[in-house]
């Protein structure tokens, strides 16, 4: 990156089942909050990028057209980005690319899902002619990958339960989080129903309605408000095919390459020491050690020990998902952008009750499809 890039506005809605508001009004909540944070009017924005999961999930075809008014996109170029669950991360990076390329001064990134208006598992597993219908949803896909991680790493089974507890306790410090379980215990997670062996109910993300928005700009237009910007130190996205012989979905190469490129740009050579906090796309508890290893915050096979030693809990030296993460709220179209936005809030010192003391460098991470799409940015409290 030649230009210094920054996040100057962040907004999000409450994540919940939101049947009192329309999709447009829910999107506007995040857009209005991000614009207020950046102290901008729609006339200051040069382009809008929309992040949304497949149309089938909540039944709006071409949401980039449907929401043009709610996003304040009147008279502006709009682009929709579309990469499964990672889409919010990809949208943020695409917006930063527009600024970096000199095509826009300020880009508004908007993300949402309103899953209560559709049926997520139906949309993921609808019966198609000539193929077996598993009807297993996302958990059914990821369960064997988790089983293989446990086999390879010889991790004890309580690791998944502990991650579920850590993230839910973190969510009690985030008023936007959907799941609020202040009394959760490891025993309660262990005793919750088995959904897709080895994934238990309380180790799974909810299905949520929610929205998120951020404003990305260049150095020239940053630092004009009292609230400090988050500086983008590195960003990358990588892709691989979902199914092929010999693929390692436990430690996907695209995820490794994505993180390595972002760290290279950020000048990071020892991620565990040099990153203060991480917001990772963890839809099932075991994905915490899986992604720690995949993005180089732990050596292969060593991620679970960071969990076991309490290092990834709030108050540990490598806190993961202080917001409560995907396990505490999952409006899928917005989930990736929420990770990127929460990383930005941490280094801006604006994360409220879930602020990590002294967070100067943070990772925001998103994953989509069958771990096919990977996006990651490193943001910092000072210029790169």
Partner 1 sequence: MTSLSAPYTVEFPFDRTVGPKVGTFLAGLREARLFGVRAPGGRVLCPAVEFDPETAEETGELVELAGEGTVVSWTWVSTREGDPLPHDFAWALVAIDGTDGSFFHAVDVGGDPGRMSTGMRVRVRWREVRVGEIGDIGCFEPVPV
Q: Work out how close the CB of 294 gets to partner 1 at its nearest, in angstroms, rounded to a whole number.
A: 35
Q: Find where tokens 């998103």 sit.
A: 366
Window 127-186: residues binding partner 1 (CB under 8 A): 127-130
Q: Which of 65, 74, 134, 194 binds partner 1 (CB under 8 A)?
A: 74
334 is an interface residue for partner 1 by CB under 8 A: no
Can you name the residues that pair with 362 across neighbouring β-strands? 277, 379
Residue 331, helix vs strand vs coil: coil
Contact window for partner 1 (CB under 8 A) among 102-110, 111-119, 152-160, 186-194: 111-119
Nearer to partner 1, 70 or 145 (CB): 70
Give 133-139's long-range contacts (Cβ < 8 A, gap of 24+). 136/196, 138/283, 139/195, 139/196, 139/199, 139/204, 139/284
What is the sign, positive or negative, of the torsion defined by CA atoms of 95, 320, 222, 213?
A: positive
Q: Specify whether the CB–CB gap between 195 and 285 falls below 8 A.
A: no
- Per rule CB under 8 A, is residue 221 in the interface with partner 1? no
Specify the DSSP class assigned to residue 83. B
Question: In 3D, which of 380, 382, 368, 292 has the Cα closest to residue 343?
Answer: 380
Cβ contacts of 371 within 8 Å, gap of 6 or more: 145, 249, 252, 254, 255
Minimum gap (Å) between residue 76 Cβ and partner 1: 10
Which of 43, 382 has the CB closer to partner 1? 43
| Cβ nearer to partner 1, comparing 46 with 219 | 46
Instruction: Transcribe 22-79 into DSSP letters.
Output: -HHHHHHHHHHHHHHHHT--GGG--EEEEE---HHHHT-SSHHHHTTTTTT-TTS-EE
Q: How far is the CB of 364 from partner 1 (least distance, A)?
A: 28
Specify the residue, 26 or 278, whose C-beta has the smaller distance to partner 1: 26
Given the complex with partner 1, which of 107 and 307 has the nearer CB atom? 107
Hey, what are 18's tokens? 């939101």
Q: Which is nearer to partner 1, 18 or 374 (CB)?
A: 18
Q: Tell me which of 122, 197, 273, 299 binds partner 1, using CB under 8 A.
A: 122
How far, in whole angstroms, is CA 218 from its chain's centroid?
A: 23
Q: How far is the CB of 345 from partner 1 (least distance, A)?
A: 26
Stretch binding partner 1 (CB under 8 A), from 23-31, 92-100, 299-307, 346-354: 23-31
In angstroms, what CA-CA distances link 278 with 19, 176, 180, 292, 299?
31, 18, 21, 9, 16
Residue 303 DSSP SS3: helix
Number of residues that bind partner 1 (CB under 8 A): 30
Shortest distance, CB of residue 180 to partner 1, whole angstroms? 22
18/354 with CB nearer partner 1: 18
Among 80, 118, 190, 350, binds partner 1 (CB under 8 A): 118
Site residues (CB under 8 A) for partner 1, limited to 37-66: 42, 58-59
Span interacting with partner 1, options 115-123, 158-166, 256-264, 327-335, rule CB under 8 A: 115-123
Under rule CB under 8 A, residue 121 binds partner 1 = no
CB of 58 to partner 1, least distance (A): 7
Q: How far apart are CA 127 and CA 25, in angstroms?
A: 33
User: Which pair of structure tokens corresponds to residue 203?
Assistant: 């180790």
> According to the binding rule CB under 8 A, does residue 261 interact with partner 1?
no
Q: Is residue 316 part of the contact set for partner 1 (CB under 8 A)?
A: no
Distance CA 63, CA 333 (A): 11
Instruction: Tell me which stretch binds partner 1 (CB under 8 A): 4-12, 126-134, 148-156, 324-332.
Output: 126-134
Residue from 114, 141, 354, 374 in contact with partner 1 (CB under 8 A): 114
| 3-class secondary-structure state, position 247 | coil
Residues at the interface with partner 1 (CB under 8 A): 18-25, 28, 42, 58-59, 68-74, 114, 116-119, 122, 126-130
């Amino acid at each position: 990156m030649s230009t210094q890039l920054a996040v100057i506005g962040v907004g999000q809605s409450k994540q919940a089942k939101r049947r009192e508001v329309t999709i447009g009004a829910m999107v506007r909540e995040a857009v209005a909050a991000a614009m207020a944070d950046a102290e901008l009017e729609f006339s200051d924005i040069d382009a809008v990028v929309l992040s949304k999961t497949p149309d089938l999930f909540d039944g709006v075809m071409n949401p980039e057209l449907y929401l043009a008014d709610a996003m304040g996109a009147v008279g502006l170029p709009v682009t929709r980005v579309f990469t499964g669950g990672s889409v919010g991360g990809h949208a943020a990076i695409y917006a930063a690319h527009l600024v970096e390329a000199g095509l826009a001064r300020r880009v508004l990134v908007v993300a949402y899902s309103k899953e209560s208006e559709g049926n997520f598992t139906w949309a993921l597993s609808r019966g198609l002619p000539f193929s077996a219908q598993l009807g297993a949803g996302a958990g059914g896909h990821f369960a064997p990958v988790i089983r293989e991680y446990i086999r390879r790493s010889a991790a004890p089974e309580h690791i998944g339960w502990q991650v579920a507890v850590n993230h839910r306790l973190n969510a009690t410090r985030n008023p936007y989080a959907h799941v609020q379980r202040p009394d959760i215990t490891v025993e309660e997670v262990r005793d919750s129903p088995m959904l897709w062996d080895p994934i238990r109910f309380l180790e799974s993300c909810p299905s949520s309605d929610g929205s998120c928005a951020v404003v990305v700009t260049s150095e020239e237009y940053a630092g004009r408000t009292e609230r400090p910007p988050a500086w983008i130190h590195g960003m990358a996205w990588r892709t691989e095919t979902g199914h092929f012989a010999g693929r390692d979905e436990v430690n996907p190469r695209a995820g490794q390459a994505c993180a390595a490129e972002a760290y290279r740009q950020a000048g990071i050579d020892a991620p565990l020491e040099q990153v203060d906090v991480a917001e990772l796309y963890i839809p099932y508890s075991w994905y915490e050690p899986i992604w720690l290893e995949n993005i180089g915050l732990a050596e292969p096979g060593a991620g679970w020990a960071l969990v076991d030693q309490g290092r990834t809990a709030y108050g540990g030296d490598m806190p993961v998902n202080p917001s409560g993460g995907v396990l505490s709220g999952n409006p899928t179209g917005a989930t990736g952008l929420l990770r990127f936005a929460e990383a930005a809030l941490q280094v801006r010192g604006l994360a409220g009750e879930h602020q990590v003391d002294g967070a100067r460098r943070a990772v925001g991470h998103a994953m989509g499809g069958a771990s096919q799409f990977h996006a990651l940015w490193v943001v910092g409290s000072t210029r790169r």
